[in-house]
Amino acid sequence: VQKSPFVGCEVNAFPPNKSAAVPKYVINLNLAPQDRWTQLITDKRDQLRALVSDMRNLTRGLLGDWLFNVVINNLDHLTTTLPSPYREEVEGISKASGLLVSEVTLYNIFYEVFTF
Amino acid sequence: CTSIIGQDANGKLYHGRNLDFGLFLGWNPKEHTWKVAELLKPLVVQQEWQRDGKTVYESVNYAGYVGVMTAVKKDKFTFSLDERFVMEGGYVGLLEWMLLGDHKQKWNAFITREVMEGAETYEAAKHMLSHTRLLAPVYFILGGAKPGQGTIITRWRDNFHTDDLSTKLSTSSSSSSSAWFLVETNYDQWVSPPFYDDRRTPAVHCLRAAGRANMSLPLLYNVLSTRPVLNKLTTYTSLMQVNSGEIGAWLRSCDDPCWPW
User: Does residue B45 carry a pLDDT above 70?
Assistant: yes
Q: Which of A11, A40, A71 faces B45 most closely, judged by CB atoms? A: A40
* Min Cα separation B190/chain A (Å): 20
- Side by side, the strands of the sheet bearing B162-163 are A24-28, B44-51, B54-62, B70-73, B77-83, B138-143, B150-155, B162-163
Does A116 sit within 8 Å of B49, measured CB to CB?
no
Q: Tell me the per-residue pLDDT of A85-99, one tens digit each, with 9 for 90 and over.
A: 999 999 999 999 999
**Closest B-chain CA to A54:** B36
Percentage of chain A beyond pLDDT 90 is: 63
**Dist CA B80 CA B127 (whole Å):** 15
User: Does residue B224 carry a pLDDT above 60?
Assistant: yes
Of B93, B122, B96, nearest in space to B109 by CA: B93
Query: CB-based contacts of B22: which residues, under 8 Å, 6+ apart?
Result: B34, B35, B36, B37, B40, B233, B235
- Side by side, the strands of the sheet bearing B181-184 are B181-184, B2-7, B13-20, B234-241, B246-251
- Band (A3; pLDDT cuts 50, 70, 90): low
- Give the per-residue pLDDT at A112: 80
- B1 belongs to the catalytic site: yes
Chain A, chain B: beta-carbon pairs less than 8 Å apart? 196
* Min Cα separation B184/chain A (Å): 16
Q: Tell me the per-residue pLDDT of B158-204, one tens digit each, with 9 for 90 and over.
A: 766 666 555 667 766 555 556 899 999 999 988 999 999 999 999 99
Q: What is the ipTM of this complex?
A: 0.93
Contact present, B76 and B96 (Cβ < 8 Å): no
Q: Does A17 touch chain B (CB under 8 A)?
A: yes
Q: Using CB atoms and an 8 Å cut-off, which of residues 48-77 of chain A contact chain B?
A: 48, 50-51, 54-55, 58, 71, 74, 77
Contact present, A52 and A99 (Cβ < 8 Å): yes
List C-alpha distances in Å: A88 to A52, B66, B95. 19, 11, 22
